[in-house]
Amino acid sequence: MSNVKDRRVSAPQVSGYSEAGASLTRRALKGFIPRSGSPTDDIDKNNGTLRQRSRMLYMATPVAASAVNTNCIKVVGTGLTLKPTIDRELLGLSREEAKAWGRRVEAEWRIWSSKPENCDALGVNDFAGLQDLALKSWLLSGDVFGLTKRYPAKPSNPYTLRLHLIEADRVSTPGSYGGHPMLGVTEGKIPEGKPGAGNKIHDGIEVNASGQIVAYHICNLYPGQVSSEKREWTRVLAFGEKTGLPNVLHITSTDRCDQYRGVPYLAPVIEPLLQLRRYTESELMAALVQSFFTAWIETETNQSGIPINEVGTGDIAGVPGSNPGEGQVSRNENEYEMAPGTVIHLKPGEKIHFGNPNIPTTGFDIFVKTLCKLMGAGLDLPYDVLIKEFNSSYSASRGALLEAWEAIRRRRSWLVNRLCQPTYEMWLAEAVARGRIKAPGFFEDPLIRAAWCKAVWIGPVQGQLDPKKEAESALTLASKSVKTYETITRELGGGDWEDNVEQRQHEQEMLDGMSGGNNPAPANPVDPGGDPNSGSV
């Protein structure tokens, strides 16, 4: 007993995670020794590879395309609509004055935002299109940059502001400062004698000694792009020195402290997406090959007198041949292709051997669904929403929609705060400066300016499985003052409650006028005992 006691005392004392997730002795964890570094080491140096793989999977994998496109459809849809909501109490305005000011701003905003040539530096997208493009680029590349430019005003557009969206690849550390995106070298330092001397550069983003972003370095070419132009970088200050307005809008989200560049949305599921693509392609090809009826004839005789049937050129033993040349990729005599109803002669000594896999594979559908469920969890999109398959119960489908909607709302909030609201504030500052919008005190007091700039952005509403039930629930909440009619209107219809009330009053007046005069509308316009078409409309 004493020996056992001594051994217990001399054994190393461990506790807590030492015998759990941090154990170095447990068999399952012995080889699990990750080495996490700084955001620069873990993210910036790998972002080039992550971007290329994410874009390739988006272009070649249906599940990846569904994940990205679903976000674009739900977050932006046909575009987030501006609704000014100024702080009228702080500004000393009546409700009618605030509403009139908001309508004037909306009208002016439409001049700038509704036409590509008025808001896009390239003249390709209107502002709704820029929102969709920015979100898609952000999801595929991790971040996207909006460079603000000024073009001359013209009679059809009095505003000079333009937005130029720049893909993540073009923002990189200049080669003269030690950067090399093709080799994963992302950090650099600005030498003496150059603008921003002493500042560090993290993958194209220049920061000062405090870690604050001061400038962006934008290359005129993409990494690896072959061009007759010389590769050059332009240093763009983050904010205008005189106006204080942003020169660059950085649209991204971060996961770690001291992180300056974003990570592609598909990054956590790149490997399973690729494996799923390979698996489905192999199953599709195997099923396709199995569906072919191809006869192979091997002969040891001289083939000089035997007509060799190429793919789809003849009939034999009652097997119909395909149309001449249909589906044939190669005419090389050393290559053989399979096709429906085809007879092919082999050369002397050649033989064809095929494996005999069990096609279709048992459990293919279950395996793919399970994998999609796991990837959907990693992408904040439940399986039902990711695959667009709502075969579960009402409660389960509604739960999936609600869970997806929480992620959609969060991404919409990020897009509004990073792109829509800053762009609106820059545009409004120009509109006030040009005298097209009256906003007393706008340039004098930051508090007053914030009150004038306050706005909400209305986008696609949450999907409804049973509109009647959800409408009744919303009205119950409104009757108990849990929600306002304005909130419910935005959630269910995306409109403005006060505008709806005014429109309903107008419609009711028109209906009253139509039913007035000598032929007033009866209480029950359809007489159950008479002609069902005799009632007034």
pLDDT above 80 for 267:
yes
Whole-model pTM: value is: 0.80
CB 381 within 8 A of CB 408: no
Whether residues 296 and 248 share a domain: the answer is no
Whether residues 177 and 254 share a domain: the answer is yes
Among 344, 378, 412, the domain boundary falls at 378
Among 352, 378, 404, the domain boundary falls at 378
The answer to the question of residue 531 being in a domain is no
184: which residues sit within 8 A by CB, 6+ positions away?
45, 46, 48
CB 291 within 8 A of CB 340: yes
The percent of residues in the chain predicted with pLDDT above 90, rounded, is 51
pLDDT in tens, 155-172: 999 999 999 999 999 999
Distances (CA, A) of 313 to 119, 323, 340: 58, 7, 11
pLDDT band at 10 (very low <50, low <70, confident <90, very high): low
pLDDT above 60 for 6:
no
The answer to the question of residue 195 being in a domain is yes
Whether residues 221 and 286 share a domain: the answer is no
Residue whose tokens read 């090809």: 285
CB 72 within 8 A of CB 136: yes
Lowest pLDDT segment from 138-152, 288-302, 422-436, 441-455: 288-302
pLDDT above 80 for 107:
yes
Six-digit token pair at 284?
């599709």
Cα atoms found within 13 Å of the Cα of residue 418, Cβ hemisphere only: 22
What's the CA gap between 512 and 191, in Å, rounded?
Answer: 78
Whether residues 366 and 254 share a domain: the answer is no
DSSP 437: S
Whether residues 300 and 210 share a domain: the answer is no
Segments forming the whole domain that contains residue 200? 39-71+100-266
Among 353, 378, 403, the domain boundary falls at 378
Q: What average pLDDT does the segment 509-520 reach?
A: 68
Whether residues 50 and 157 share a domain: the answer is yes
What's the CA gap between 121 and 129, in Å, rounded?
Answer: 13
Whether residues 236 and 282 share a domain: the answer is no
Whether residues 49 and 158 share a domain: the answer is yes
pLDDT above 90 for 268:
yes
Nearest to 442 by CA among 434, 496, 362, 450: 450
Nearest to 266 by CA among 401, 375, 158, 172: 375
- The arrangement of strands across the sheet holding 200-202 comes to 187-189, 200-202, 205-207, 213-219, 233-237
User: Given its phi and psi angles, is residue 388 left (phi above 0), alpha (psi -120 to 50 degrees) or beta?
Assistant: left
The answer to the question of residue 228 being in a domain is yes
pLDDT value of residue 386: 92
Q: What average pLDDT does the segment 236-261 reach?
A: 94
Whether residues 206 and 307 share a domain: the answer is no
pLDDT value of residue 515: 73
63-77, 342-356, 478-492 — most confident range: 63-77
The answer to the question of residue 339 being in a domain is yes
DSSP 19: G
Nearest to 347 by CA among 395, 296, 312: 296
Report the mean per-residue pLDDT for the chain: 83
Whether residues 223 and 363 share a domain: the answer is no
The answer to the question of residue 159 being in a domain is yes
pLDDT in tens, 13-23: 667 888 888 88
CB 54 within 8 A of CB 60: no
Domain count of the chain?
Answer: 3
Whether residues 240 and 351 share a domain: the answer is no
What's the CA gap between 28 and 533, in Å, rounded?
Answer: 78
313: which residues sit within 8 A by CB, 6+ positions away?
321, 324
Whether residues 233 and 307 share a domain: the answer is no
pLDDT value of residue 522: 46
Nearest to 201 by CA among 231, 180, 226, 225: 180
- 3-class DSSP state of 78: coil
